[in-house]
Chain A
Amino acid sequence: MTLDKRMTPTEMVGEISNGMTIGIGGWGPRRKPMVLVREILRSDLRDLTVVTYGGPDAGMLCAAGKVKKLVFAFVSLDAIPLEPWFRYAREKVGVEVLELDEGLLQWGLQAAAFGLPFLPTKVGLGTDVHKLGGFETVQSPYEDGEVLLAMPALRLDVALLHVNRADWRGNVQAFGPDTFYDQWYARAADRAFVSSELLVERIEDDFVDDAQANIFERCFVTGVMEARYGAHPTYMAPDYGWDMDHLKAYGAAAKEEGGWEKWMADMIGDDEAGYLARNGGEEAISKLPLPVF
């Protein structure tokens, strides 16, 4: 018997139910599992709680009415600092939020990973994040008696992540200068579904020198799939940069009547092959320059 975790995107998203809490890896417009986000956009899913260092994943899922509650510390497209569809959802539609500090978000994921109800921290004390989040405090039982904020575990039903390489058994390798907090999403989730730029049968056959790039362990991975350019339009180091022209057009649609429905029909479409073709295919996406910070 062999271990084979290959799944189609439809099968992965089929494992998500209405009302679930999903965590999405990456950071802003960087390393986002957009192929899986698009699959959710094409589905009938609704009432999701979405935990994310928000980029276009947050904006698109809000625009499509998939989000009941957004757990976030920021939503941004970097070069477009304020995410237009997130703004639209917050200002015009109304979407429930749990607003966190960036460090609190990963702290809540760590609490979930370790099976703890909460982790103590100084972060949030003295700010509106404390009050608005409804967070409680705890007192150190030791001599110092310090009062700390109790950051509740952010337990995820599902984590969605995008990596550079994976194999059928769920071993992953992630490259580029920064892989953000993807490991905590994987470990905080009941099930993690991973899309990968490259999927091979046995990663050790060809990439034995890259074992240090294994940022989380395969015991946390439920499903893997290959999705070349699956992070488009976000930045997937070291392979391709973000597609800022695409993100600008997406953002501009937030100003148009029926803008989302049109974006969904004309750009997201029914399938990934068509989506990639509409964005110039391999020829164009592989040449997207890496961003300069």
Chain B
Amino acid sequence: MSDCTLAELLIACCARSFDDVGEVAATGIGPIPRLAAGLAKLTTNPALMMTDGEAALVEEPVPLGPRGDYEIRPSGHLPFGRYFDAAVWTGRRHAMVTPTQVDRFGQFNISFLGGTHDRPKVQMLGARGFPGNSIYHSNSLFLPAHSSRVFVEGEVDMVCSVGYNPERRIAGANFGNVSLKRIVTNLCVLDCGGVDNAMRVVALHPGVSFDKVQDNTGFPLEQAEQVTETPLATEEERAIIARLDPHDLRSKIIKDNPSARRAA
């Protein structure tokens, strides 16, 4: 078999975010998080609930892209019209998403960039479901281009999701479910396990140094006591990924689709 690509390493690495979340709806927005959720369901966490991307719950993760003869076999129904009742506001969900900005407090932004809220320089999607997701259930991030434009200095331009900023805590409110589990980037894996929930590097992808990560991050990072090297996807995982991604959409995510073993 060919070399494990970085994209495949990232899918297997992102799948770890869904290992121990229990019997919840798994949402992966974008090809790599979605493949990761499917991989986790087929390997480490068969209890995960997934949809076909629309409203049918399926026990077999639906392959990405045009489906040809593939027929979806619904086992249940979870339309957007029930999502808050059933998955978000009950905490029965883990979502892996890709915001535009992240800050040292684990707050994300997908609403707008620059300017003011009245007159943004760049209008993006809007806050979407981030405020509710972040106060009700755990979340993970996948960020394919680790840079200080994504990991910004100071706070994100609009705080769409609850993080760990003590100044944004409201006395008497319940922030007990706030959990930013893991942040997987093209360089490393981070969590919020540092001092006062500071972001820290827990694993580096092959050939990546801590300094390279720090140089591409707009705020100081901590390091876990034991920083590990992210493992390559196993042959078994790669075979499952290939089945879930028959059109090889994963090869288009990272520029030039590099091997997972990069020169340091």
Chain A positions near chain B (C-beta within 8 angstroms) = 27, 54, 72-76, 81-82, 86-87, 90-91, 94, 96-97, 99-104, 106-107, 122-130, 132, 137, 139, 145-148, 177-181, 292-293
* Bound-state Cα–Cα, A241 to B122, Å: 29
* Residue contact B79 to A104, C-beta cutoff 8 Å: no
Apart from A54-B126, A127-B127: 15 A-B pairs, beta carbons within 8 A: A75-B125, A90-B112, A94-B118, A99-B126, A103-B84, A107-B84, A122-B135, A123-B89, A123-B132, A127-B159, A127-B168, A128-B111, A177-B54, A292-B66, A293-B54
* Residue contact B80 to A122, C-beta cutoff 8 Å: no
Chain B positions near chain A (C-beta within 8 angstroms) = 52-56, 65-67, 77, 79-81, 84, 88-89, 107, 111-112, 115, 117-132, 134-136, 158-163, 165, 168-175, 178
**With A103-B84, A106-B84, A293-B52 known to touch, is A127 a contact of B161 (CB < 8 Å)?**
yes
**Majority-rule SS of B interface residues:** loop
What B residues does A107 contact at CB under 8 A?
Answer: 84
10 contacts between A and B (CB under 8 A): A99-B126, A125-B135, A125-B162, A126-B168, A126-B169, A127-B168, A147-B172, A178-B81, A179-B79, A293-B52
* Residue contact A127 to B131, C-beta cutoff 8 Å: yes
| Closest chain A residue, CB of each to CB of B53 | A293
* Bound-state Cα–Cα, A146 to B111, Å: 28
* Bound-state Cα–Cα, A145 to B173, Å: 9
Query: Contact check: which of B67, B79, B129 meets A103 at CB < 8 Å?
Result: B129
Query: Contact check: which of A94, A126, A147, A178 meets B135 at CB < 8 Å?
Result: A126
* Residue contact B81 to A104, C-beta cutoff 8 Å: no
**With A103-B89, A139-B172, A145-B172 known to touch, is A73 a contact of B128 (CB < 8 Å)?**
yes
What A residues does B158 contact at CB under 8 A?
Answer: 128
Query: Which 4 A-B residue pairs are closest in the complex by CB-CB distance?
Result: A293-B53, A147-B172, A177-B55, A178-B79
* Residue contact A122 to B130, C-beta cutoff 8 Å: no
**With A126-B170, A177-B54 known to touch, is A103 a contact of B135 (CB < 8 Å)?**
no
**With A27-B80, A90-B123, A177-B79 known to touch, is A128 a contact of B129 (CB < 8 Å)?**
no
* Residue contact B160 to A178, C-beta cutoff 8 Å: no
What A residues does B163 contact at CB under 8 A?
Answer: 126
**With A27-B80, A127-B161, A179-B81 known to touch, is A82 a contact of B131 (CB < 8 Å)?**
no
| Closest chain A residue, CB of each to CB of B175 | A126
**With A90-B119, A147-B173 known to touch, is A180 a contact of B79 (CB < 8 Å)?**
yes
* Residue contact A74 to B170, C-beta cutoff 8 Å: no
Nearest-neighbour CB distance to chain A for B173, whole angstroms, equals 4
Query: Contact check: which of A86, A99, A122, A179 meets B127 at CB < 8 Å?
Result: A99
What A residues does B65 contact at CB under 8 A?
Answer: 292
* Residue contact A102 to B128, C-beta cutoff 8 Å: yes
**With A99-B111, A147-B172, A293-B53 known to touch, is A129 a contact of B131 (CB < 8 Å)?**
yes
* Residue contact B129 to A73, C-beta cutoff 8 Å: yes
| Closest chain A residue, CB of each to CB of B162 | A126
* Bound-state Cα–Cα, A75 to B127, Å: 10
Nearest-neighbour CB distance to chain A for B14, whole angstroms, equals 19
What B residues does A129 contact at CB under 8 A?
Answer: 127, 131, 160
| Closest chain A residue, CB of each to CB of B126 | A74
* Bound-state Cα–Cα, A137 to B125, Å: 26
* Bound-state Cα–Cα, A147 to B175, Å: 11
Nearest-neighbour CB distance to chain A for B38, whole angstroms, equals 14
Nearest-neighbour CB distance to chain B for A161, whole angstroms, equals 13
* Residue contact B112 to A122, C-beta cutoff 8 Å: no
